[in-house]
Amino acid sequence: MGTMGRILVVDDDPAVGTILGALLDQAGFEATYVDSGQAGLAELDARAYDVVVTDVRMPGLDGMELLDRVVQQRSDLPVVLLTAHGTISLAVDAMKRGASDFLLKPFDRDEILFVINKALAANERRVSAPERPPSKTMVGSSAVLREVEELVRRAARGKATVLIRGESGTGKELVARALHDTGPWAAGPFVKIHCAALPETLLESELFGYEKGAFTGANTRKPGRIELAHGGTLFLDEVGDIPLTMQVKLLRVIQDRELERLGGRDTLRVDVRFVAATHRDLEGMVAKEQFREDLFYRLNVVPIWLPPLRDRTGDVEQLVRHFCAIHARANNRPAVAVADDVVRLLADQPWPGNVRQLENFIERLVVLSDGPEITVEDVRRELVRHQPAEERSRGTTPAGGTLSLDEQRKRTERESLTAALTRAGNNRTLAARLLGVSRRTLYTKLEEHRLL
């Protein structure tokens, strides 16, 4: 029987390396341990690996430098960093430089296995993604969706900047990828940056890159996302969250297709198609001088508005059956049937989080239902557990009954856990830090709320 994956462990502490290697072997992986960054590079040259797990602080070539080398040579190889001296700034820096995840020592067995499996799954999706046909971006056959798809088809043919607008969860990234995959930029890179996820200083260096010595910690030259998107598409997700001071520099790049790295003097020419997305009211922000008017018009050359799910309820049945099939396969379950009365019940729900919320709900149903078919009782049970936010704020259940104080506490606690995991990119160590609790407490709460 084959192994679940080949893991390279790099740590200058033999005790840590031996213990981690044995743990991974017991879990079904094939683990190889080396005691230095240089030995890690040599091992990567000699054999193929699926994941690298490396300590950060090591003599000679340390973990961050090893990460940089791996990203340069094997950008498809996930790297997980281990450190006994972790900080949120270190985690952010590691993620910026291409790390798959990071963990604190002493590590927890379940946590390290979860992180490695997540890295393997993410890499498998990334590698297989280009094989998916790009023609089908959104599921449904409603008239409003057909209009969106026709507009996407036309916009994809040109090079004009596109601004995708709509509520959260409506599929803005799917449209951005469709514009790239079906247009003249398809052979080039698709580079994404989430503008709301990084503070201003990090966002600037991430967008424009920097020269060696540009600031403390800039030990090497690093190209920015705009430069990396040369010959392809740069997707500016949540562009409405870019600070005003940054908007001026972005405007220049969009106008002139020129930029300078931080700390650099050379002007670089870039050939990039810009696609931006936001759920914000940019016109209102312009009126309040929170968003530059000239940048708004540069971005809004081709606007594409995505309808909320409440405006395309006729698509709910196709979405439900589509998500059931996807998540049954993803969770190693046989096909799950959905009765018509279940579809009608789901179509009657408000879904303020749109398609994303519906998909998450369907995944829960697939995972938690026991039989070969999702029943109305399954749906009602989960609706009570995960009712819409507006009903929670009123302290009522979908049926109109009141929630006890303990039930409201549990719902609020679950919301906080989910929000922290989302903000931390599902990194549990960082989520625990954001919540101000220990990793053990976080794991206990995740288990209590069935979020593991």
Give the tens place of pLDDT for each residue, 128-145: 443 333 334 578 889 999
Q: 360-403, pLDDT tens digit by residue?
A: 899 889 888 878 889 998 888 888 775 544 444 444 444 444 45
What's the full length of the chain, in residues? 452
Q: Which amino acid is at 161?
A: T
Out of 125-139, 143-157, 321-335, least confident range:
125-139
* CATH no., domain 313-400: 1.10.8.60
Q: Where are the domains of the chain?
A: 6-130, 143-307, 313-400, 404-452
Q: What is the rounded distance in angstroms from the CA atom of residue 216 to the CA atom of residue 222?
A: 14
- Mean pLDDT is highest, among 127-136, 220-229, 252-261, for 252-261
Q: What is each CA distance from 36 to 65, 81, 85, 95, 149, in whole angstroms?
A: 12, 14, 18, 22, 52
Q: Which residues contact 315 (CB under 8 A, 6 or more apart)?
A: 139, 140, 141, 142, 145, 309
- Residue 246, C-beta contacts closer than 8 angstroms, at least 6 positions apart: 200, 203, 204, 207
Query: What residues contact 352, with CB distance under 8 A and at least 6 apart?
Result: 388, 389, 390
- One fold for both 6-130 and 143-307? yes
The rounded distance, in Å, linking the Cα atoms of 139 and 175 is 12
Instruction: Answer yes or no: CATH 1.10.10.60 is held by domain 404-452.
Output: yes
> Percentage of residues in the chain with pLDDT exceeding 90?
34
CB 383 within 8 A of CB 405: no
Section 93-120 average pLDDT: 78
What pLDDT was estimated at residue 89? 66
| 136 vs 13, more confident | 13
Is 6-130 a CATH 3.40.50.2000 domain? no
How far apart CA 288 and CA 240 sit, in angstroms, is: 13
Write out the CATH class of domain 143-307.
Answer: alpha beta
CB atoms within 10 A of CB 169: 20
- Helix, strand, coil abundance in the chain, percent, nearest 5: 50, 15, 35
Across 117-121, 237-241, 319-323, least confident range: 117-121
pLDDT at residue 291, rounded to an integer: 96
Residue 248: pLDDT over 90: yes
The answer to whether residue 4 scores a pLDDT higher than 50 is yes
Question: Which H helix or E strand runs over 447?
Answer: helix 439-448
Q: What is the dihedral of CA 414, 422, 337, 171, to 10 degrees?
A: 130
Mean pLDDT (the chain, rounded):
83
